[in-house]
Amino acid sequence: MNVLITGASSGIGEALALECAKRGDRLFLCGRDRSRLDAVADACRAAGATVCADKVDVADEAAMRNWIVSCDADAPLDRVFANAGVGTGIEDEANVRRTFATNVGGVVNAVLPAVELFRRRGAGGQIVITASIAGYGPLKSCPAYSATKACVKTWGLALRGMLRSEGIKVSVVCPGFVRSRITERNTCPMPFFMEADKAARVILRRVDRNVGLIAFPWPMRLASWGLSILPFWMNELVNRMLPEKVAAGRPKVL
């Protein structure tokens, strides 16, 4: 299988690349950190995979389209993971804009060229979008992050319905706390914390079965879903009791 993964230089993207390499998939990987990306590519090659790794910023629409088209020309893509994402950190204007540009714009920039290629071939194809359990509802500790993940979660599930008749599969992944460069900065409690390699295996098993919404672990999914269906005044009360993500912080008032 020919597999493309954005955000492959760390976290879930890195783990997905390594698990796909063990399967013998041909890999096209991108990330923004050249040294980390090269290390992942080398590990995948050591596992026996053929790998092409390029430094690409997913927020750059033209660069992403050109990269995806060139990868597909090299080996027709079967599966595209729109996985790249960032945590907001301090909710100042620069970080909020960066979060939306990467977590929403970056997903759009990966998905639209892939859909176009799959349609042109008329031979199916599969898109996997990484959202988050945080996308189930508004979270005071990470407003921009939860909003961007809610956006791509809804868009991906709607695309699944729209593209079904064309034979294009779409899955949306909503993981809980998984080891990554984002969670390494968290100082809040992280219940049901999961290692990235275990998360990648869960994702791939369900993607193989064409599961539409891949949300795990189930206690986090249940709690997040429950929070999302509460009347908003109750949602606000619960949100007030949730711990702060101390690492995220707030802009200092001088």
**Tens of pLDDT along 179-197?**
666 655 655 556 666 889 9
Beta strands 79-82 and 2-5: pairing type?
parallel
- What Å distances lie between residue 222 and 172, 219, 227, CA to CA? 17, 5, 9
- What Å distances lie between residue 52 and 3, 26, 55, 96, 110, CA to CA? 10, 8, 10, 31, 17
Residue 136 designated active-site: no
Question: Would you list the domain boundaries of the chain?
Answer: 2-241
* Active-site residue, from 118, 136, 145, 216: 145
Quote the CA–CA distance of 147 and 159 in Å, as a whole number: 18
- So what's the pLDDT on residue 64? 98
CATH number, domain 2-241: 3.40.50.720
Whether the pLDDT of residue 250 is over 60: the answer is: no
- So what's the pLDDT on residue 177? 77
- So what's the pLDDT on residue 217? 85
- In this prediction, residues 236-251 reach a mean pLDDT of 59
Quote the CA–CA distance of 112 and 118 in Å, as a whole number: 10
DSSP state of 251: P
Residues 6+ apart with CB under 8 A from 116: none
What predicted TM-score, i.e. pTM, was given to this entire model? 0.87
Q: Which amino acid is at 99?
A: T
Whether the pLDDT of residue 12 is over 90: the answer is: yes
